[in-house]
Amino acid sequence: MASERELTNAKRSSIGPSEDRCKATCGEAGGREMNKVPRNTDTKTAAAANRHRFLDLDGTDALGYHVIFPILKQIKGDSLELIGTGFFIAGMGLFASAKHVLRDCFDEKGNQKYPVCLLHFLPDNQYLFRHILWCSSHPTADVAIGLAEPAADTESNGVLMLTTSSPAIGETIVTYAYPRTKIQKVGTLEVLNFKAAFYEGRVVEFYPKGRDQCFLPGPCYQTSMVIHGGASGGPVVGRSGRVFALNSTGWEGVSDISFVSRIEEILQLGIPFIRLPDGQEVRSVIAQDLADAGWIDVERIAQK
């Protein structure tokens, strides 16, 4: 059974876009315009940007801070700490990330320990803190979905397209995430410097029944991408430009062994309080219901 958790009002209200105590800046990933290769990148990152696409609903390149974002928890009063990366899969603020990323804000008994939010970057060098209202995680796979609080009408989010198609062994893949974030105090101001980047590699092996029974018992792929801390939960695409997996883990000190969890398992996860286009009353559904209604774009591949 999937695990669904609502994040408490008291805690989520304690994080907000307070300009007098917090400032977000972006480094190497450069400009925030959609359909543009990020500026001020190193040669490797720029080359990866030219070779790969992350597709939005209209089939255009969705790469940008509008879609892929850092996830933060609040620690020690007002201080913030990066816990991973996420990406939007529906325009209403529904997003996907790794299960272990969102579990970081809970204690061993499943009680919320830290307030948690995402930082949604907007055009014109603007940003918005969006509190995470609830999350739902898979019982075995390292995948989860969550819902961010609504943004203003003029601050909508783009989405990434998904696929249940498995990439070929040896296929080139890429992720885009926020592993090299620096958070520092400058006087009374906390400065968050996000350095998003591409990480490229190849699919090495597929584990349909999991890599092991302890850490990654759900369907996953071994890859040669580098996955640093903070990149967990970031989307992974192949030649189609659709997300087939998300980042789970790498090996400390090893640059060419990592594991990414199959995205398909998120379709089994529950979502509370949804009214579908069929006009029925508000009810709990699963992500597959939203895909069937066209709210989540999933390229379904018939299973052999």
Which pTM was predicted?
A: 0.83
208 assigned to some structural domain = no
113 assigned to some structural domain = yes
Residue-range definition of the domain harbouring residue 41: 3-148
Where does the pLDDT of residue 92 fall: very low under 50, low under 70, confident under 90, or very high at 90 and above?
A: confident
- pLDDT one-digit tens code per residue, 23-41: 555 554 332 222 233 333 4
Q: How far are the Cα atoms of 147, 184, 281 from residue 273, in angstroms, in the given order?
A: 11, 38, 9
CA distance 191 to 185: 6
- pLDDT one-digit tens code per residue, 147-159: 998 876 545 688 9
Q: Kindly state the average pLDDT of the residues 283-288.
A: 88
Where does the pLDDT of residue 193 fall: very low under 50, low under 70, confident under 90, or very high at 90 and above?
A: confident
Question: What does pLDDT average to over the chain?
Answer: 79
158 assigned to some structural domain = no
285 assigned to some structural domain = no
* 171 vs 63, higher pLDDT: 171
- pLDDT one-digit tens code per residue, 163-185: 999 999 999 999 999 887 888 87
Q: What per-residue confidence (pLDDT) applies to 89?
A: 95
DSSP one-letter string for 87-111: EESSTTSEEEE-HHHHGGGB-TTS-
Q: Which stretch, 46-55, 66-75, 147-156, 201-210, has highest mean pLDDT?
A: 201-210
Token reading at 29: 């990933």
Containing 288, the helix (H) or strand (E) segment is helix 287-292
Number of domains in the chain: 1
198 assigned to some structural domain = no
Where does the pLDDT of residue 141 fall: very low under 50, low under 70, confident under 90, or very high at 90 and above?
A: very high
207 assigned to some structural domain = no
Where does the pLDDT of residue 44 fall: very low under 50, low under 70, confident under 90, or very high at 90 and above?
A: low
Q: Kindly state the average pLDDT of the residues 214-228.
A: 94
Q: State the CATH number of the domain containing residue 18.
A: 2.40.10.10
pLDDT reading at 280 higher than 80: no
Q: What per-residue confidence (pLDDT) applies to 258?
A: 96
* 223 vs 123, higher pLDDT: 223
Token reading at 259: 């594991």
237 assigned to some structural domain = no
210 assigned to some structural domain = no
